[in-house]
Amino acid sequence: MNLPVNDRPFVPVGIAVLTVSDTRTLADDKSGATLAERIASAGHRLVARAISPDDKEAIAAQVLSWTLDPEIDVVITTGGTGFTGRDVTPEALEPLFEKRMEGFSQVFHRISYDKIGISTIQSRATGGVLNATFIFVLPGSPGACKDAWDGILAAQLDYRHMPCNFIQIMPRLDEHLRRSGS
């Protein structure tokens, strides 16, 4: 359930989109294009977009480099969340998370269940935080990307969304590092 927004100003954030696929190119990447369109329509900045092969090291390296870019606040990946041998996106990224976002997966599956029923169990969508950057790991279908954006991310990446949202806590994501002197 999306709650009403208040009179706070909209705060655009920088977002990077990584499509994980051995077969897609930017020209035929429907899931990445779906996310890019929704990011722009919401008023955010698409800072980077790329394709990575289904390779743990390549996925981790790309996402890690984006989390170190001060222009990027959010990384969204699409693809590689299933159970086949080449589906390795969660394995590539979950070990990097400083904090896991259990609720993202749970809410995503709830929304997905309403659309595709029990087939939602075939996705390992996940989320977390690394280097004060939110990371969301989505399935590779345009429908799943629409569901995640429309049902979760659009509201949580909107500073006006109440009672709380990801934007308002962004300045505090790395306070554990500052506190420890890192």
Q: What angle do CA 93, 147, 117 make, to 5 degrees?
A: 95
Query: Residue 178: is its pLDDT beyond 70?
Result: no
Contacts for 46 with CB less than 8 Å, ≥ 6 apart: 15, 16, 17, 36, 39, 40
Query: Bridge partners of 127?
Result: 136
Architecture, CATH, for domain 14-175: 3-Layer(aba) Sandwich (3.40)
Q: Provide the whole-model pTM.
A: 0.93
Q: What is the pLDDT of residues 91-146, one digit of tens each?
A: 999 999 999 999 999 999 999 999 999 999 999 999 999 999 999 999 999 999 99
- pLDDT in the model for residue 8: 87
- Delimit the domains of the chain by residue range: 14-175
Q: What is the pLDDT of residues 30-50, one digit of tens each?
A: 999 999 999 999 999 999 999
- pLDDT in the model for residue 174: 82
- Residue labelled with tokens 């990224």: 93
- Going by the DSSP 8-state scheme, the letter that residue 54 receives in this structure is S
178/161: higher pLDDT: 161
